[in-house]
Structure 1
Amino acid sequence: MLNATLELSAFNASLRTFLDASPTPFHAVRSMAERLEAAGFAALDEADSWTLEPGKGYYITRNGSSIIAWRQPTRNAAVNLGWRLIGAHTDSPCLKVKPTPELHRQGYFQLGVEVYGGVLLNPWFDRDLSLAGRVTYRNEAGRIASALIDFEQPVAVLPSLAIHLDREANASRTINAQTYLPVVMGQADTKPDFRALLKQRLQAQGVEQIETVLDYELCFYDTQSAAAVGLNQEFLASARLDNLLSCFTGLQALIDGGEAAAGQVLVCNDHEEVGSMSACGAQGPMLGQWLERVMPDADQRNRSLSCSMLISADNAHGVHPNFSDKHDGNHGPLLNAGPVIKINANQRYASNSETSALFRHLAEQVGVPVQSFVVRTDMACGSTIGPITAAELGVKTLDIGVPQFAMHSIRELAGSQDAHGLYTVLQRFVQTDLV
């Protein structure tokens, strides 16, 4: 028991470090790449020819915001046993800076934002916000380059309107995304040049020879660190648990899974929160193009897919004690009671009886409890990369996730035991010959 407790503690500490280091999809992919390289995985460039060695680990990135990592099997094993794939997504709902964002009103410098994904907006008010993402610039040699940026410290806030000025705030206040969300950056006599501020920050980070900032993809984030909370630290509180928690569990399962007969793959796509239709999204060609390169022979590739399986990991709705009527009475997952199999008759989730049964079987082998989630029949159901990837590749698929509260809030809550439980099952999954 002592060793298991230490293992859980170390896992959660590493997860919190990963969450804090990954304020944007670009930073998340960089964090994953660093961990992969420390584990011996080699980076490949999609523009190069590849020479792959059986048993060796590799990874590729696209757009700096999506990543595929894998351990190469033997040729026969790939055909006869297929691939064990784990899928997740790197993006989270947030507020993104507009292309011409500068506002100067009442002596305050503000930035206009767009809402990315299905953001729960109210919790964004009165938080200590910072800014991170990717900046593209022209250097002094006239070449275009990009660099990641992170202001790290609180540089902005979105103040609430005092209740004295809106007596009905607790009963009926709604948020107009255009007029209520411009973020306060500070006070100024004139409108500052935002691109000049970005150039100064990049130079402070050690990026040299910047001539002009040409464009950027930036989002605000909460600077409060991930934390263990609760009387007995039963919970994990953090931004971006949906879905960086799944990225981390899948990454660790791949790294710690070791060599196995079947191929082992982790794919973490960007843009899931806005439909996945992009060059690096799950509805784009990235995973299919990768598979064509690692298995060029179409007959072998199709035979391999027939004995492959994808586990799409994306968090589930835990039953909230104050809103239990929002759940089906028999399908309200509890925090710290194990990962959740997500089921929907209308294929919003890709789980079926065979893929669910295999997950239950593997979970029993490693002593991890399993729950199930079905949305109330009178409510609409969300979706994941699971059905999209299943349709793109024709691979049997399971949708699972850990239960959480406050999904799509600026700060979410999960059980402190569930990520480790999911990791334990996923590690067994990448080692199994069964599908």
Structure 2
Amino acid sequence: MSVDDGVIGKLIEHFSLHDKDCQKYQHEIFTEMRKSCPVAHSVEHGGYYALSRYRDVYDAAHKPELFSSFPVTIPPFGNPTPMIPIEADPPMHRKYRTLVGAQFSPKSVEALEPYMREMVRGIVDGLVGKSEADLAKEVAVALPLRAILELYLGVPEKDWEMLKNEFIYMLQPDPDATDEENQERSMQAGLNCTMYFAEMLEERRTQGYGSDLISHLDQAELEGERLTDDEIFGFCLVLVPAGFDTTASVLSRLLLMFAEKPEVRDQLEQVIDDPGKLDLAIEELIRFMPPQPGVARNVTEACEFAGQELAEGDRLLLLWPSANRDPEEFPNPDELVLDRQPNRHLGFGSGIHRCLGSHLARLELKILLQEFLHRVPRYRVAPGKEAVWHTGNTWGVKTVPVVFEQWETA
């Protein structure tokens, strides 16, 4: 959809990840940013700069000494202590990340494949025979939420929905509310989740430790010292939303794409049984629809970056989707090329804060594609209904109401 240049200019001036029009016209905005204002200034949320070119976004992500990751969102979540490790800077960042790195390593994630496949098959079983469904709720959110809460944290099923709702309050602010209202809601949700994890922690200490991450963190040491409760809660406040909402944003958009662009499904079905080709396709999907629209950085000292004079305390927003569509880095960047090579995308971020759960996200996407495409018939958006998108720190689809074609009978 074309839009007047003046409108795009106004959207750049008022750019916000919380704005529905910025989301709707994102590619027109990013194209104009890269061309005419690669370090664009937005007056929203107290004012900040947005980086849109691949090279600038990459370079900024690799300068933690100059660009602090606390706070990591614009506007900030409002949590009184940093979320660990995503809002930690060196040298503590490496020490914190090392504590949980093994649990998210390729080897550890590979060991989860049979559990993940059983999980996905159960989700698909829940769809079989239905005439219609909400694929966002029943698939895109359900899979990553269950994976992180069950496989990593040992949260009982009765509490999954409550935690999901609290974290959505944090991650998906109301675009029609003020920053202050959203921050208050986010802070309350963060407090509610912290209180829940405090009860889990106390239970582990009194009833005995398990194999979950909270048990692991409470027994871990940094330089001979046990973690504080606040540090443990800081980990939890990252691991849950990072473990489900980012992946859910990709899955929801992909499942909607299958309804709106069935040719994409056709292309994926041609590679679904070839592991090498499927791996390439997954990397391209992450480039094409990255889990997060952007992360924030805080300037630690006056400097010049990408031709822009920056003062201490200035805020930056690193726009992963724009970097991933930069024609200087990717030929035909607006095309989904499932065998794209090379593909140095920034869909999982870059630098020291590159997504800790990237291997887990790849596994979820891979198994879902294999099971879903083999068993679920084609579908379309339900007549009289429409997909509902959300803005915020992830950009995804809240509801994907579909009607299925004929299910195959055994």
Larger Rg belongs to: 1
TM-score by length of 1: 0.25
Structure ranking higher on relative contact order (CA contacts 8 Å, 6+ apart)? 2
Structure (1 or 2) with the greater strand fraction: 1
1 or 2, which has the higher helix percentage? Answer: 2
TM-score under structure 2 normalisation? 0.26
